[in-house]
Structure 1
Amino acid sequence: MKNEVFVRWKLKVLLVLFTIHCSLLTSNAQRVLSLDSCRQMALRNNKQLGVSKLKQDVAENLRKSARTKYLPHVSAIGTYEHTSEEVSILNDGQKAALANLGTAFGLTVQQKFGPAIAQMQPQTQQFLGEVVTQTSGMLNAEGQKIIDAFRTDTRNIFAGSILVTQPVFMGGSIVALNKIADINTQMAQNKMDASRQATLYQIDQAYWQVVSLHHKKKLAESYLALVKKFDSDVHKMIDQGVATRSDGLSVDVKVNEAEMTLTKVNDGLVLSRMLLNQLCGLPLGEPVVLEDEKSDNIAVLEVTPKLDVETAVAYRPELKLLQNTVDLSKQATNVLKAGNLPQVALIGGYAISNPNTFNGFEKKFAGFWHVGVLVRVPIWNWGDVMYKVRASKGATAIANLELEEAREKIELQVNQITFKVDEANKKLAMAQTNIKSADENLRTANLGFQEGVISPTVVMEAQTAWMQAQSQKIDAEIDVKLSQVDLQKALGTLE
């Protein structure tokens, strides 16, 4: 029973240790990256591409904002105003006359009918006097009511309005502004394409630099092993008295040179890997293996270059940006021209106020609907718009000249890179031929040295020639790769 428990415990411990070992192997495993994966990582990591994307979103929102200028706009306005004096429809004389209307009536009756009333019976006089007194009081009260009715009480004014404005014709400025917004959206997209191509070009350069140095490192190691073996053979021959000490010193120098070359290649490879990791957004010290490092030879697909300037003109984002600049300048001129043209808009809304005058002066809110047409016609501005239009047309002419100059430079660049691709293909073919000659030369030299008919100096020269031929082959293969990338960038088709 105890043995069975012990066996189970031992199996659990072994299982845990195996799991830890597997996790350590996984964590220490090097990441294998292809060129496409490096490109995608670089595109995700590049900050300028993020900025370009945000600028594109900004331009799109501005384009949507410009579209709203075609639509009616609704606004609400509310005001309150307190004044020290109120508006009075009646003057002071009219107010006094109305307030004493009954008194004036009594005086008039006394002046016109006083003698006649004096001849009447006392009871009649008393009765008429009471009637006149009551009538005077009533008229005075009614006059005061009229004064109160005409009081405006405008010291505290509340007003509000909802206004709807629909542009009908703004001299073409709204159309031009919408075209400017569309062009800005295109510019943002073209800038993003330019940043994307620059990032891809940079990552391709770094990727093939690492591949080149990796193969040169392998070559340097092979060369070092070769010269070390030769150094060992020469020293054995010195011990046997077949070779001189001078030959041994010469070979020692070659060994030192090979070790120095390997050290330089190692240092360059470390720095190149750090640059590639930085572009991909990886830690600088993270070990990474590239797919093209695994093969013994760099896979090169030779492409026959074809001069295609039309493609460059159609796809280069730099030319598109310059064309956008020309189009922007033209639309800016149209916006300025609109300053000399009539502007027509429909307006309508609903307005309220307190006090209001729709039923006399009432101390409450009341309002009304209204519609109308607003027309603005510029008459004289001392040539301000004309001068601005001339300046804008001058800016358009400058932009056109810069566009033409850029087209000429890009045409020249495409021609140069096309020749460069063709030259790289020829160099690669020559390098491959030289490899065969160098291999045969080294084989013959080694064979002659073993037979004792060739000196160590000749063998070292053959080894150096073999090393140079192999290095030139690696450089030629990388030149073919990079020249193809250069051509894609020059044509604007680097994706």
Structure 2
Amino acid sequence: MLKYPLPALGLGLALFFSFVNHLAAQPLTQAQLIQLALEHNPRIRAAQKTWEAARARIWPARMLPDPELSFEYEALPEAPSLSRFGERSIGVAQTLEFPARPYLRGQIAAQEAQVAELEYEAVRTEVAAEVAQACGRLWAGQRRLGYAEESLRLATEFRDRTLVRVDAGDAARAELLRAVVEAGRAEVGKATAQQQLRQARAVLNTLLNQDLSIPIELSENLNYTPVAFDLQDLQQQALVHRPDLQGFRAHLKGTVGTQRLATYALVPDLNLGMASQKIRGEGDFWKAGLSLRVPLWAWGKQRGEIASARAGVARAQAEELAARNQVLLEVLGAFLKVEITQHQLQLYRDRVLPSAEEAYRYVRRRYDEGGASYLEVIDAGRTLAEVRTAWVEIQLDYHIGITDLTKAIGGNQRDKKKEETR
């Protein structure tokens, strides 16, 4: 049974609960949460191990075939009696490949390792984008809950005032019933907002590889900030920094190496052998041998391998071109989404939201003065709640759009690589 020292186990548990308490104790910024995810997300760990495994295969790919050690006994009077041999040979043989072949195998393995590294970087970029979007949903959930609590407060206040007016004979009982219904609807809205906030926290905790119930809080407001982008510059950045596109290019280089390796299969291998021979009654002798592996059936075997490798190169070229087009399309789509949501945000911020808030205050004041009906108050309250919800959703769409655009151009790979080279 596998046993662990109690001090080590206690230290591990202490570090784990320290990390959990750190998350629960204080609100964190989006950058801090992304860093935690990059350190603890299991998908990133799996991609990193895949990369390490690919790197470990580079050196073995350059090695020559294993030598062969042979023992031969001849003229044995009896099968089990090896000591009464008439002739014995002990030899070793080594296949010497054309030098370009082990070199190319190493280059192909190195390209495969680079592809694995770029896949690892792509996973990091994807996880970072998912965490940023989850932070946006967490922030939106907090805002929805705040607006829902405000709507409940206003609906409850309106219900209480309507009750006073009914008791004073200034309003019909039907108004009170409608006010009670609106207060109930506001309570349901608050419960829904609480549930959405819990779901957003669970998603973020999943990305951090932590317990789903940890009450993560976001310490910063993801409010709208106008940003100007240049589409051509973004697309150029994507073509240079997208790790998945770089991975397709590295794969293409690997297939070119595979084609060259298949071509060098036509070059014969040289087999060297040396053996010590002992003939009973005559003494010891040495013998050496040299042989060539002749590709006699090249018209069938090697020719087919070369054709297959050539087709692999053409396929890799087509996949790289398709990936390039897809990258440009993703950048364009994210760019257009950001442009549209920016226009919507400016419209809601400057006109729609202030108008809805002013309309509700005006109708409530008129209702208290007896100049507006309860239906107008209810309608204005619903409009305000809908506008506030839409305002939060548009801000969330903008944040997700910025995140998608950042992911589409390769994340922060350029800054990351600069820091690593310092």
TM-score range normalised by the length of the shorter chain: 0.7 to 0.9
> In the alignment, which of 35, 43, 46 is matched to residue 48 of structure 1?
43
SS of the equivalent of 1:192 reads helix
Task: Please show how residues 84-483 of structure 1 align to structure 2 within 5 Å.
Answer: 84=76, 155=85, 157-161=87-91, 167=97, 169=98, 172-292=100-220, 298-307=222-231, 308-340=234-266, 342-343=267-268, 345=270, 347=272, 351-355=275-279, 361-362=282-283, 375-433=292-350, 434-483=352-401
Q: Given residue 406 of structure 1, which amino acid in structure 2 is its aligned partner?
A: A
Shift of 1:367: 6.5
Alpha carbons 1:183, 1:328 under 8 Å: kept? yes
Shift of 1:426: 1.5
Alpha carbons 2:277, 2:287 under 8 Å: kept? no
Shift of 1:163: 5.4
Alpha carbons 1:74, 1:163 under 8 Å: kept? no
Output the CA distance in 1 between the equivalents of 2:24 and 2:338: 38
> In the alignment, which of 69, 87, 90 is matched to residue 77 of structure 1?
69
Q: 1:188 to 1:27 in 2, by over 3 A?
A: closer
Alpha carbons 2:245, 2:323 under 8 Å: kept? yes
Alpha carbons 1:191, 1:317 under 8 Å: kept? yes
Shift of 1:347: 4.6
SS of the equivalent of 1:189 reads helix
Which structure has the larger Rg over C-alpha atoms?
A: 1
Output the CA distance in 2 between the equivalents of 1:368 and 1:229: 109
Q: 1:80 to 1:42 in 2, by over 3 A?
A: same
Identity among equivalent positions (%) equals 22
Q: Given residue 323 of structure 2, which amino acid in structure 1 is its aligned partner?
A: A
Which deviates more, 232-241 or 172-181? 172-181
Alpha carbons 1:76, 1:160 under 8 Å: kept? no
State the TM-score, normalizing by the size of structure 2. Answer: 0.81
Output the CA distance in 1 between the equivalents of 2:247 and 2:277: 55
Q: 1:282 to 1:378 in 2, by over 3 A?
A: closer
Q: 1:28 to 1:427 in 2, by over 3 A?
A: closer
Q: Given residue 229 of structure 2, which amino acid in structure 1 is its aligned partner?
A: P
Shift of 1:228: 0.6
Shift of 1:186: 0.9
> In the alignment, which of 61, 64, 83 is matched to residue 66 of structure 1?
61
Shift of 1:162: 5.3
SS of the equivalent of 1:275 reads helix
Q: 1:33 to 1:164 in 2, by over 3 A?
A: same
SS of the equivalent of 1:81 reads strand
In structure 1, stretches of 5+ residues that fail to align are 1-25, 87-152
In the other structure, the counterpart of 2:30 is 35
Aligned length: 387
Shift of 1:28: 12
Output the CA distance in 2 between the equivalents of 1:345 and 1:442: 92
Output the CA distance in 2 between the equivalents of 1:314 and 1:210: 32
Q: Per-residue CA shift, 1:328-384, capped at 9, x if unaligned?
A: 3322222222222x33658576x434458xxx723xxx66596x8755443444433
Q: Per-residue CA shift, 1:370-412, capped at 9, x if unaligned?
A: 6x87554434444332233223322322332232223222222
Q: Given residue 206 of structure 1, which amino acid in structure 2 is its aligned partner?
A: A
Alpha carbons 1:55, 1:188 under 8 Å: kept? yes
Alpha carbons 2:61, 2:109 under 8 Å: kept? yes
Q: 1:283 to 1:387 in 2, by over 3 A?
A: closer
Output the CA distance in 2 between the equivalents of 1:411 and 1:298: 27
Q: Per-residue CA shift, 1:413-451, capped at 9, x if unaligned?
A: 211110111112122111212222222222222222222
SS of the equivalent of 2:90 reads strand
Q: Given residue 168 of structure 2, which amino acid in structure 1 is its aligned partner?
A: Q
SS of the equivalent of 1:288 reads coil
Alpha carbons 1:206, 1:272 under 8 Å: kept? yes
Output the CA distance in 2 between the equivalents of 1:438 and 1:243: 25
Alpha carbons 1:74, 1:162 under 8 Å: kept? no
Q: 1:409 to 1:29 in 2, by over 3 A?
A: closer
SS of the equivalent of 1:77 reads strand
Which deviates more, 390-399 or 205-214? 390-399
Which deviates more, 263-272 or 227-236? 263-272
SS of the equivalent of 1:160 reads strand
Q: 1:288 to 1:80 in 2, by over 3 A?
A: same
Q: Given residue 155 of structure 1, which amino acid in structure 2 is its aligned partner?
A: F
Alpha carbons 1:485, 1:494 under 8 Å: kept? no
Which deviates more, 192-201 or 482-491? 192-201
Shift of 1:262: 0.8
Shift of 1:214: 1.2
Q: Given residue 353 of structure 2, which amino acid in structure 1 is its aligned partner?
A: I
Q: Given residue 387 of structure 2, which amino acid in structure 1 is its aligned partner?
A: A
SS of the equivalent of 2:230 reads coil
Q: Given residue 73 of structure 2, which amino acid in structure 1 is its aligned partner?
A: E
SS of the equivalent of 1:33 reads coil
Output the CA distance in 2 between the equivalents of 1:384 and 1:226: 82
SS of the equivalent of 1:493 reads coil
Shift of 1:319: 2.1
